[in-house]
């Protein structure tokens, strides 16, 4: 394939999927100059570079609302690139109709990709390409780069950082936490006061049995201390008349134990990763919206979990407490912004959602956000539900409302 013509679409994945699969020499993008969601050209260049593609992008801008402007652009492309191949996977109605008409009149090759079913549909003279068709695996960074964004870094867990031994530690601590969330929160406050002023590599720590925090007195919990020692997260623990002495297993365990809210995220991370269903599972991903550092660059978001299956990303927010409607909106907006109609979103809470949370459940359903709670954790259906979410077909986007004719009045 020498030249591939793409009709720009608001769904980011549709704009680069065929170029990723067939690696043409040139990819022509037909773009509406009035589209406020138009991705930056630099995003396409960065995406092709990330994928190791030598494809050269070319961009044609025109008023996609004007038939004359659309025809003029299409004729220019066909003239500049004779024998080009049309990809009708994306594009708005008028552009699709006119491009289909012109390509048919000139008997040019054309195809369509059914992303939901992973199928290649040869429309005209594309049977050879069908043999080469395979839906590619995209990494989280690939999917973000299509919209001009980038992975800026990670918070609690780096990719591939958690080994088998840490997985057991995570499950152990999470089980302790879930038995008594309040006691665990108070215990973490005590550890934080004990460790204030110590470096991340300083594992030997001591403190009084009762200490003053910023606002309240905190005290050690002998039962939790003993359990952590027995499970190996503390390598030493002793008491004397002066206070408490203990040693953390590792700098990583120390970092995690000093955070009250990290354990649900870590538990979800190891639980989902163990299934092997997702080809990429990332935790605490920091997303830079424009993918460029410096200047007035301040737009960043942290996603607790980012799961990728094929070309489908799942954005997951983890909440130890009761999630708010705002939390549902935030994770849903991230999925829509960085993955369009093919993104999925979920919120996991350590709380049990009873009848009194009907309004919250209804809001989640309206937004298309999967809401998982303590029951899913205890019944071990958490991973199964997230797999089901990633496997579900993307909903068909609603058609834009028809314009109301000028001077029209409703019939009475």
Length of the chain: 412
Task: Supply the pLDDT for residue 91.
Answer: 87
Helix, strand, coil fractions of the chain, as percent rounded to 5: 40, 25, 35
330 or 405: which leads in pLDDT:
330
- Distance, C-alpha 208 to centroid of its chain: 43
**Within 13 A of 300's CA, how many CA atoms are on the CB side?**
19
Task: Supply the pLDDT for residue 405.
Answer: 45
CA distance 358 to 371: 12
* 7 bridge partner residues: 30
Task: Supply the pLDDT for residue 404.
Answer: 44
Name the token pair of 344.
Answer: 């999925």
CB-based burial label for 259 (10 Å; 0-12, 13-18, 19+): middle
CA distance 311 to 258: 36
H helices present in 313-398, as ranges: 325-339, 358-367, 374-378, 382-391
Residue with tokens 């609690």: 156
pTM of the model: 0.85
Rg (Cα) of the chain, in Å, rounded?
Answer: 27
Q: Per mean pLDDT, which range of 21-25, 37-41, 292-296 is the poorest? A: 292-296
pLDDT digits (tens, 9 = 90+) for 45-71: 889 998 999 999 999 999 988 999 999
Nearest to 318 by CA among 382, 251, 261, 274: 261
User: pLDDT exceeding 90 applies to what percent of the chain?
Assistant: 59
- Is the CB of residue 162 less than 8 Å from the CB of residue 170? yes
CA distance 372 to 384: 11
CA distance 342 to 345: 10
- Distance, C-alpha 123 to centroid of its chain: 33
* Pairing mode of beta strands 119-124, 150-154: unpaired
Question: Measured at the alpha carbon of residue 102, what is the angle toward residues 98 and 105, in degrees to the nearest 5?
Answer: 140
Q: Per mean pLDDT, which range of 67-76, 100-109, 144-153 is the poorest? A: 144-153
Using the predicted structure, report yes or no on whether residue 401 has a pLDDT greater than 90. no
- Is the CB of residue 314 less than 8 Å from the CB of residue 336? no
H helices present in 29-84, as ranges: 41-50, 67-80
Task: Supply the pLDDT for residue 39.
Answer: 64
Task: Supply the pLDDT for residue 409.
Answer: 46
Using the predicted structure, report yes or no on whether residue 408 has a pLDDT greater than 50. no
Q: Per mean pLDDT, which range of 163-167, 170-174, 235-239 is the poorest? A: 163-167
Task: Supply the pLDDT for residue 398.
Answer: 45
Averaged pLDDT of the chain: 87
Residue with tokens 């190791």: 52
**H or E stretch at 256:** helix 251-257
- Residue 11 region by backbone torsions, left for phi larger than 0, else alpha for psi between -120 and 50, else beta: beta
CA distance 250 to 294: 34
CA distance 302 to 290: 14
Cα separation values, 370 from 218, 265, 276, 335, Å = 37, 16, 20, 12
User: What is the average per-residue pLDDT within 258-268?
Assistant: 90
Task: Supply the pLDDT for residue 297.
Answer: 56
């Amino acid at each position: 394939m020498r030249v591939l013509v793409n009709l720009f679409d608001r769904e980011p994945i549709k704009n680069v999927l065929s170029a990723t699969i067939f690696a043409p020499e040139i990819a022509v993008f037909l773009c509406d100059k009035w589209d406020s969601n138009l991705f930056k050209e630099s995003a396409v260049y960065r995406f092709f570079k990330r994928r190791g593609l030598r494809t050269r992008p070319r961009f044609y801008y025109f008023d996609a609302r004007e038939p004359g402007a659309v025809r003029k652009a299409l004729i220019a492309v066909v003239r500049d690139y004779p024998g080009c191949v049309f990809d009708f996977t994306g594009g708005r109605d008028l552009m699709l109709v006119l491009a289909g008409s012109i390509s048919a009149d000139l008997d040019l090759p054309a195809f369509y990709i059914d992303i939901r079913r992973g199928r290649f549909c040869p429309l005209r003279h594309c049977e050879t390409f069908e043999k080469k068709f395979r839906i590619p695996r995209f990494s989280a960074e690939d999917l973000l780069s299509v919209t001009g964004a980038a992975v800026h870094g990670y918070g609690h867990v780096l990719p591939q950082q958690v080994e088998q031994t840490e997985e057991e530690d995570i499950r152990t601590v999470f089980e302790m936490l879930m038995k008594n969330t309040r006691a665990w929160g108070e215990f973490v406050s005590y550890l934080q006061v004990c460790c204030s002023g110590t470096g991340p590599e300083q594992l030997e720590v001591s403190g009084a049995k009762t200490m003053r925090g910023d606002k309240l007195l905190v005290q050690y919990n002998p039962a939790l201390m003993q359990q952590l020692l027995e499970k190996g997260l503390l390598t030493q623990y002793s008491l004397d008349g002066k206070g408490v002495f203990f040693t953390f297993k590792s700098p990583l365990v120390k970092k995690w134990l000093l955070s009250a809210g990290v354990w649900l995220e870590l538990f979800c991370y190891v639980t989902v990763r163990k299934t092997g269903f997702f080809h990429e599972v990332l935790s605490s991903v920091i997303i830079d919206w424009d993918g460029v550092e410096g200047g007035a660059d301040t737009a960043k978001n942290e996603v607790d979990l980012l799961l990728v299956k094929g070309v489908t990303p799942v954005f997951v927010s983890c909440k130890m407490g009761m999630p708010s409607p705002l939390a549902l909106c935030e994770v849903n907006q991230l999925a829509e912004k960085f993955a369009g109609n093919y993104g999925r979103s979920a919120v996991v809470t350590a709380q049990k959602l009873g009848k009194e949370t009907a309004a919250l459940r209804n809001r989640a359903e309206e937004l298309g956000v999967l809401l998982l709670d303590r029951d899913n954790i205890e019944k071990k259906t958490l991973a199964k539900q997230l797999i089901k979410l990633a496997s579900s077909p993307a909903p068909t986007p609603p058609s834009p409302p028809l314009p109301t004719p000028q001077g029209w009045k409703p019939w009475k």
